[in-house]
Structure 1
């Protein structure tokens, strides 16, 4: 959910609060426009400061992106780990993970697209750091989907690999839909996902 832009400036604001305002504005800019199209002057204007001051506080465009990425990546990774829990994957785990993702993003939904930005320049620190977070989340998904398949009687590693990709794309699609429907709370989205999963189960049922 996009945060309102502020044109009021930051005069008299403590330094750490001012920097956080810049990071919030940058997260929105990167999340809605992508790294390649994001504009430092636009980010500065959201906060009501000069581009020069933005550089003084946050460095280069890549530095600023990484400063936005790290809290987003940490928050999502911690949310998924906690939702999966120490006791292994159970049938209700996918919904628990989705609820954790929605909750972690609430108030800053566009942050998802900061982590999964396809316009990052190749070979740089930004794309490397983003790939580390994505890989860590993928490893959790890989372990979880493999356990679900084993519980269903399948030990085929290709099944697990395919389901990992399906799950990743499903989560991304659900987040995109959620961003377009700001009235949907994390709880409402989780319930909606439960309904969708139940409907999908009927499509594969043989009637027994």
Structure 2
């Protein structure tokens, strides 16, 4: 998934295309290295332009990060909303959400780490923007996990809170594993998750024991 450095200069390249090239390269840089370690010269080298041009197009490093974050956050949030659907949560919903996340990330898997970057400067624009997207995803997950528990006969809010933590870590772990296995398609990952869920159901103790 590496972006090969472009040999093209700035002349003769439409501004919209150059901006897209910069955003693609920057998303890969931020996603693979994290905000703190990401380098504007490295991003410029990926595209074949100067660091000065990056500033002319997107401003500061933090501005560029936010420009990368917004399409990533919008895409993932939209995918989760669509997967959850308007008809309420069913036992199939978690698998459908995972499939939507894998599909939304395919071809740019490292973009997940742009949204979930722990190296962002605290209190800054980038941290606030990322936190906003994560909170929106968490609200959807909280509603879904609470509804699943109600369907299973549990109204305990602590159960819902615990399941939200489990779900959040489960998704992050599955994405990290997937990034390390680039041969795995979204469809293959969805089938794998279905098998894992089935195995977990077999291993779970029967209710009331």
Q: Same fold (TM over 0.5)?
A: yes
Q: How do 1:1-208 and structure 2 match up within 5 A?
A: 2-10=1-9, 11-206=11-206
Structure 1 gap segments, 5+ residues each: none
Aligned-pair distance for 1:64? 0.1
List structure 1 segments (4+ residues) > 6 angstroms apart after TM superposition.
Answer: none
Aligned-pair distance for 1:202? 1.0
Aligned-pair distance for 1:123? 1.0
> How many residue pairs are counted as aligned between the two chains?
207
Task: Give the distance between the partners of 1:35 and 1:129, measured in 2 at CA.
Answer: 14
Structure 2 gap segments, 5+ residues each: none
Give the TM-score, by structure 1 length. Answer: 0.97
Task: Give the distance between the partners of 2:132 and 2:182, measured in 1 at CA.
Answer: 29
SS at match of 1:132: helix
Higher deviation after alignment, 78-87 or 6-15 = 6-15
Measured against aligned partners, the alpha-carbon deviations of 1:130-177 in whole angstroms (never above 9, x if no partner) come to: 000000000000000000000000000000001001000000000000
Q: Is this contact kept in 2: 1:3–1:107, CA < 8 A? A: no
Aligned-pair distance for 1:4? 2.4
Give the TM-score, by structure 2 length. Answer: 0.96
